[in-house]
Amino acid sequence: MKFPRNARVFRGQLDAAPLAGVFFLLVMFIALSSRLVYTPGISVKLPQGGDLPGTDQPTVVVAVDASGQLYFDYQLLTEKKFKERLSDAVKSSREPLTLIVQGDKDLKYEVLVRLSMLAMQAGIQEALLEIRPPAFSSRPTPSP
């Protein structure tokens, strides 16, 4: 059985307007997803580390920049206010909380100790430091 063919080869002139529209949309998506767009927040350069286990408990997160300023729930806080907010979080939680510290790699060790002491006074028993994973995993390849 022979089927009729209705398709013909296009022999006209190509219209550049649709191609230009797709190109400009692509440029917009790339520009908006790149670093050219300002993203609000603070700049914290996390130290690089290996593959470490995390926690399965509920967490509260505090960010500390290189100058030692505390940011909790997207707000700049003093140590006194931070301790009050941690105490409130512990009281409202049913399970024990873990403090995750996003500390800048240039941060002094003294600030980290002070943060862990504040967390212990607020009722948090465990504090973990957030790290940046290595760029490429250095896992050994399995032997045959």
In-domain check, residue 16: no
Confidence of residue 24 (pLDDT cuts 50, 70, 90): very high
- When comparing pLDDT for 124 and 135, which is higher? 124
- The domain that holds 70 is classified in CATH as 3.30.420.270
- When comparing pLDDT for 34 and 123, which is higher? 123
In-domain check, residue 88: yes
In-domain check, residue 100: yes
- When comparing pLDDT for 84 and 49, which is higher? 84
In-domain check, residue 87: yes
In-domain check, residue 98: yes
How far is C-alpha 108 from the chain's CA centre? 22
In-domain check, residue 27: no
In-domain check, residue 112: yes
- Its domain, for residue 100, covers 59-129
pLDDT at 17 over 80: yes
- The DSSP string of the chain is -----------SPPPHHHHHHHHHHHHHHHHHTSTTS---S----PPB-------SS-EEEEEE-TT--EEETTEEE-HHHHHHHHHHHHHH-SSPPEEEEEE-TT--HHHHHHHHHHHHHHT--EEEE--BPPSS--PPPPP-
| Summary mean pLDDT of the chain | 84
Which pLDDT value is given to residue 57? 86
Q: How many domains is the chain built from?
A: 1
For 45-81, write each residue's pLDDT tens digit: 888 887 777 788 888 999 998 888 899 888 898 999 9
In-domain check, residue 14: no
Which pLDDT value is given to residue 144? 56
Q: Which of 27-36, 69-78, 114-123 has the lowest mean pLDDT?
A: 27-36
Q: Quick check: pTM over 0.75?
A: no
pLDDT at 30 over 60: yes
Q: What percent of the chain has pLDDT over 70?
A: 90
